[in-house]
Structure 1
């Protein structure tokens, strides 16, 4: 039996991995199969044993396998090779995500989206700091063509805008360092349940390489109060991050794999069985949208979003107004020098600390716990949804079985090879 490389997930915690996040993540990369998907472990006789949801929602075994439906264990299901081939599940979000309650935004007196977002959020929605705020897209601005192909404008406040990807429901304020980490797939905003089974949106650290402080400071923390953004855009961001993770399969082997490919011309998804080299050549469907484009460079069918090149909005440009010196509008590094610095080290406060908890990788509790932290300079709202420990979603090679590492969790899914 052979297995496809799964998403590798390493975190300096030893208790395990969130059940829902594991199931939904595997469901996303297999074509939105979370309703039919299930996890299993393997016993000494190499028999698969279905895993029910743990009481504390934490997976603690070393290795888990992902299956779809009632197929035999030998069935190798197809996977989605990239974000461009992934189709948004309109009206079919996982129940956990559908339970996320985001407050509506109060009616704004301004017609400018930048001012509306600043008025709505005021501070970084993670740290509550006011310095070096930047406008961050949930579905990245460069994915305008994917946005149009998937009819995402239906979740926008202004559905008639030619640049609906810049809608306020797809935007939130982040401090510059958090924005950088967000855009580099170091963390996502994920839905998780607390001990009372209530759904919360919390930070989930995906990679803390060269930034060890991310786990004790931010992992499983509640965001600041979110208003006026779309749950659908948050879910799309989770998928975007999974597919663009450095741990997602690079398709650099020699095996044939079953894949789900999207055809922008017909709007249909087809199954195919391709060599990995062939898959690499098909992963990118759409050109990355940039402000400098005078017309769409995508050879695919254009939507209303794709004809939006005429509008080069100040929304994506650095603002020169003296009242907006600390607010940056681009999801990419600006060109040239700013008139004033938007990063003021003097104004920065420390993010919330993790009080009464250990940063040791040792297991400290057998169940999730909620910790109330002291009031911080940035007035954060810390929250610990899950237990602390070390976890990994990893996988074995196609034909060669590698021993699992101690104290870590692996999740596998099967594909044709």
Structure 2
């Protein structure tokens, strides 16, 4: 039943709007599955990078953007070209044309000093840049359509006074007025173009030459207004995830989305962006390379040797090397097996190396297997599929859980059997801990602060350990993932020996 508005027409009635319609652009492909692959012509396993192809209503990618991506990967080889086959004809389309193919090969010309015999072997095997940290910034050789020369028409009033570090964010918001991509004024914040996390690259490449402020030093070099834009907070997150970049199309700044999105891409891909004149194009290009270069990792670790250009540790010198997969994984800082190293495993390995502390940690880690296994809440008496054993050559060989089946008809019998099992487990644990407990008089407690407090208060620990304070964990108590162990049991064990641990 429809509710009728009041009959009094002198009063205004609230109007409820329909849901906000999704804004889409006719400059973006509606299919998020349209992608274009770019290949290296000198390798059998040749796919360099795969890009989302959102340009145009039926898909495709801007020719100039494709050349920029491949040129960066090839170490700023702006004289390269695309072909539709490994040895196909050059794509002679204008740089502003949308490429409709699904696969292209990026070629770089042979060096001028190469012989005819070398050229006859096939396409030139150019080196690639493995990561942003190894990418050399082209200070003297900007890409086609880009310029690193300062805008001499910029008013002095828009540059000075240079804000202090504490007020840079506010200065950037005041300068831009709104999000540079969406035009929103709500929830806006400063976004770095060259990220703070790459200040080392920023310093090594002398990117501070493009800063407005000359007073920034160290890690603060990246905090210049020339290296920042104002973005809406959610768009900022997407920007920092490498979802989109800014680039040149038709001699103007536009946004270019690299990955599918539900809303941002359909609303803002290929949107003209007003970049403030004090934002330097060098930082925009740096952000472009930062977002693109992670996309070639699969090419590098596919198994075949790769020719790469590496930055030396000191200076701007470069080395070109052909590296195996394992070496490339080390360069990229990833595991050759495709799995990250476990921090917990590293900590345990580091903790078991030598010294009194290492011995204590090793002994305590070994006791982890003594914790009572967690049982199913639904079936408290069900034995585990495999029986955990005692560690470090324990004399006890009795399994922790009896493998004989018992009738489950009587709840009383079940409770008695459970209590009996728990008592037997406690007895086994106690005997094992006594056998494994370290007796080194030089043992240092893992809880340094507690030991210091005990010493300051004049409290001595067990005599067998030279009076040193030891926490319950060092004395044999171990803590399981499910929670702390039975402290009362540990205290009872210590009382049996005549040495009660000093409480913290």
**Which TM-score tier does this pair reach, normalised by the shorter chain?**
0.5 to 0.7
Equivalent residues in 2 for 1:233-272, closer than 5 Å: 233-245=283-295, 248-249=297-298, 251-272=300-321
**1:34 equivalent among 56, 67, 78:** 78
Give the distance between the partners of 1:161 and 1:55, measured in 2 at CA.
38
Residues 231-281 of structure 1, C-alpha deviations (whole Å, 9 max, x = no match): 000001000000134x64363332111111110314211110111221110
Highest relative contact order (Cα 8 Å, sep 6+), 1 or 2? 1
Cα separation, partners in 2 of 1:54 and 1:118, compared to 1, 3 Å: closer
Give the distance between the partners of 2:159 and 2:247, measured in 1 at CA.
27
Corresponding position of 1:406: none
Q: Secondary structure at the match of 1:182?
A: helix
Equivalent residues in 2 for 1:158-237, closer than 5 Å: 158-162=213-217, 163-193=220-250, 199-208=251-260, 211-237=261-287
Give the distance between the partners of 1:31 and 1:145, measured in 2 at CA.
19
Offset of residue 108 of structure 1: 4.1
Corresponding position of 2:178: 123
Corresponding position of 2:46: 4
Give the distance between the partners of 2:214 and 2:190, measured in 1 at CA.
20
Corresponding position of 1:68: 108
Cα separation, partners in 2 of 1:76 and 1:225, compared to 1, 3 Å: closer
Offset of residue 157 of structure 1: 0.3
Offset of residue 284 of structure 1: 5.5
Residues 302-358 of structure 1, C-alpha deviations (whole Å, 9 max, x = no match): xxxxxxxxxxxxxxxxxxxxxxxxxxxxxxxxxxxxxxxxxxxxxxxxxxxxxxxxx
The normalised TM-score by structure 2 is 0.51
**2:163 equivalent among 77, 102, 111:** 111
**1:142 equivalent among 168, 175, 197:** 197
Corresponding position of 2:65: 21
Offset of residue 172 of structure 1: 1.0
Q: Secondary structure at the match of 1:282?
A: helix
Offset of residue 40 of structure 1: 1.1
The normalised TM-score by structure 1 is 0.61
Offset of residue 41 of structure 1: 1.8
Residues 109-147 of structure 1, C-alpha deviations (whole Å, 9 max, x = no match): 563323321221111111111111111000001111000
Cα separation, partners in 2 of 1:97 and 1:3, compared to 1, 3 Å: farther
Whether contact under 8 Å (1:128, 1:224) holds in the other structure is no
Whether contact under 8 Å (1:8, 1:248) holds in the other structure is no
Corresponding position of 1:84: 133
Cα separation, partners in 2 of 1:62 and 1:250, compared to 1, 3 Å: closer
Q: Which has the larger radius of gyration?
A: 2
Offset of residue 168 of structure 1: 0.5
Q: Secondary structure at the match of 2:286?
A: helix
**2:92 equivalent among 40, 44, 52:** 52
| Structure 2 unmatched ranges of 5 or more | 1-42, 111-118, 335-504
Give the distance between the partners of 1:218 and 1:66, measured in 2 at CA.
28
Whether contact under 8 Å (1:100, 1:200) holds in the other structure is no
| Structure 1 unmatched ranges of 5 or more | 194-198, 286-417
Higher helix share: 2
Give the distance between the partners of 1:56 and 1:170, measured in 2 at CA.
27
Offset of residue 68 of structure 1: 0.4
Q: Secondary structure at the match of 1:97?
A: coil
**1:281 equivalent among 330, 339, 353:** 330
Equivalent residues in 2 for 1:300-311, closer than 5 Å: none
Corresponding position of 1:152: 207
Offset of residue 34 of structure 1: 1.2
Give the distance between the partners of 1:84 and 1:280, measured in 2 at CA.
14
Residues 38-92 of structure 1, C-alpha deviations (whole Å, 9 max, x = no match): 11123xxx74111113385221223211100145534322111100110000021
Whether contact under 8 Å (2:304, 2:324) holds in the other structure is yes
Q: Secondary structure at the match of 1:6?
A: strand
Whether contact under 8 Å (2:49, 2:299) holds in the other structure is no
Higher mean C-alpha deviation, range 103-112 or range 74-83 = 103-112
Number of residue pairs aligned between Structure 1 and Structure 2: 273
Residues 8-44 of structure 1, C-alpha deviations (whole Å, 9 max, x = no match): 1124553421111111110101111012x111123xx
Cα separation, partners in 2 of 1:256 and 1:109, compared to 1, 3 Å: closer
Q: Aligned-pair RMSD on alpha carbons?
A: 2.4
Give the distance between the partners of 1:201 and 1:101, measured in 2 at CA.
16
